[in-house]
Structure 1
Amino acid sequence: MRALLIDDERLARNELRRLLENFPKVEVIGEAANADEGVKLIEELQPDLLFLDIQMPGKNGFELLQSIDGKAPEVIFTTAYDEYALKAFEFNALDYLLKPVDLNRLTEAINRVEENHQPLPDTPLGENNKMLGENDQVFVKDGEKCWFVKLGKVRLFESMGNYVRLYFDDQKPLVLKSLNSLEDRLDPNTFFRANRKHIINLNWIDKIEPWFSGGLLVTLQGGDKIEISRRQAIRFKDLMSL
């Protein structure tokens, strides 16, 4: 696992790097002292894992994650403050470590990362390369709930950090997979990448409106409103034209 350390405190980065020497599978490939540096390194180095502080000068850790364009790495927050724990898990953090980081807690966090790197055959995004179309049925598991759903019923896929939320009927389960890898599996004649956060089912479009900066705003059956970015709007018009 290729890891990036993002923390404005140099001593905290040094201590975490020292602790990570206990884990041969974790390679520290870079460090950043603030969110702007962190975003640049994420784009350049494409790490698998972030050790991310929350309180930093300028943008905080949450704002850094919101500014990532494309696939987001897995995240372990490292912070001196425990009041951000709930919000951290809203960003799908794998763990939340309080400073000073304890080796035993760090071991638990690394184990959790390794577990998430195991194949997940019970998601719609298994390890095979079969293209998935609207008539394919997939098994979805979120916590204790399970569904066997035809993909044609899924109107929207939404990136949620390291997860993707599926919208069908009145259900919104999460699966542990990136939107980019999901896009590679879905039939592009039915499922369209509207922007960096959303894939829409073209069969569920109810209304299309012009939007800002040359983009489009689509309303799906059920009321979801999704912006198609300017770049994707050009592809959308080509795809949907005679």
Structure 2
Amino acid sequence: MKILIIEDEARIARRIERMTRDFFDKNVRILLSDSVENGLNIIEENSIDLMLLDLNLNGEDGFDVLQSVVARSFQTIIISAYTDKAITAFNYGVLDFVPKPFDQNRLWQAFTRFTSPEKQSGGELQFLAVKKAKAVKLIKINEIRYIKGAGIYTELHLSEGRIELHDKSLESLEKLLPPTFQRIHKSYILCWNEAEKLTVEAGGKYNILLKNGDLLPVGRSKYKEMKNKLI
């Protein structure tokens, strides 16, 4: 696992690194950066699993990093004293915002969100970012009908019928999305507001009909929960 720490104060960077190694395997590879430019270079040259980002980097704005990489596959945890920027950070799809000063328990709580397969309470995501050529395009959460796993990508199926590719996996997105989104199948996450009714085919195959007419499969383990919700 590769973890990138972008923090301009050497003492705090070392403290974060120590706490990170104590939580994860001692052999986890940790990369350090103290500037926006160096951090972006590291990201371009390495396959990162998790980024720990300060928002004030020697006067530079950490959001410059976040805006550049928000569509990437890795997760981001903000560690910053600028708590007034927490809502904006969550809107960009960060996994957690750890306010400074912080202790080991609070940082480990953020790491637990990263390692846990379950969705946990956090900020309210407002949009997802997708890469379009060399630019980043923001997709409003309320425009998404459902999300389909597509190999190393996910497909965002939008209300007007358009499909956008996203780099994050279904598992990563499931942790970020608001409660209106639910995993209904190993390959699908549905915006519950789009659901119309459940259908059962011969052989015990379950589907859910959407308001626009699309039919999505429902996992056997999810059927009873879906049925109760639609009553």
Query: TM-score if structure 1 supplies the norm length?
Result: 0.50
**In the alignment, is residue 159 of structure 1 matched against residue 146 of structure 2?**
no
User: What displacement does 1:21 show?
Assistant: 2.3
Structure with the higher fraction of residues in strand conformation:
2
AA at the equivalent of 2:57:
M
Answer yes or no: is the 8 Å Cα contact 1:54–1:62 preserved in 2. Answer: yes
Aligned residue for 1:8, secondary structure, equals: coil
Give deviations 1:169-227, integer Å, cap 9, x for gaps: x74368698996126xxxxxx9677x99xxxxxxxxxxxxxxxxxxxxxxxxxxxxxxx
Q: What is the Cα-based RMSD across aligned positions, in Å?
A: 4.0
CA distance in 2, matches of 1:31, 1:96: 19
Q: How many residues of Structure 1 are paired with residues of Structure 2 in the alignment?
A: 149
Q: Which residue of 2 aligns with 1:151?
A: none
CA distance in 2, matches of 1:51, 1:178: 28
**In the alignment, is residue 172 of structure 1 matched against residue 173 of structure 2?**
no
Q: Do the aligned partners of residues 40 and 109 (structure 1) sit closer, same or farther apart at CA in structure 2, a change above 3 Å counting?
A: same
CA distance in 2, matches of 1:171, 1:70: 17
Q: What are structure 1's unaligned runs of at least 5 residues?
A: 121-142, 144-156, 184-189, 197-242
Q: Do the aligned partners of residues 71 and 173 (structure 1) sit closer, same or farther apart at CA in structure 2, a change above 3 Å counting?
A: same
Q: Which residue of 2 aligns with 1:24?
A: 24
Q: Which residue of 1 aligns with 2:10?
A: 10
Q: Which residue of 1 aligns with 2:154?
A: 182
Q: Do the aligned partners of residues 180 and 89 (structure 1) sit closer, same or farther apart at CA in structure 2, a change above 3 Å counting?
A: same
Q: What are structure 2's unaligned runs of at least 5 residues?
A: 132-137, 156-161, 168-231
Q: Which residue of 2 aligns with 1:95?
A: 96
User: What displacement does 1:30 show?
Assistant: 0.6
Query: TM-score if structure 2 supplies the norm length?
Result: 0.52
User: What displacement does 1:73 show?
Assistant: 1.9
Give deviations 1:66-100, integer Å, cap 9, x for gaps: 22386242000001221111111011111111223
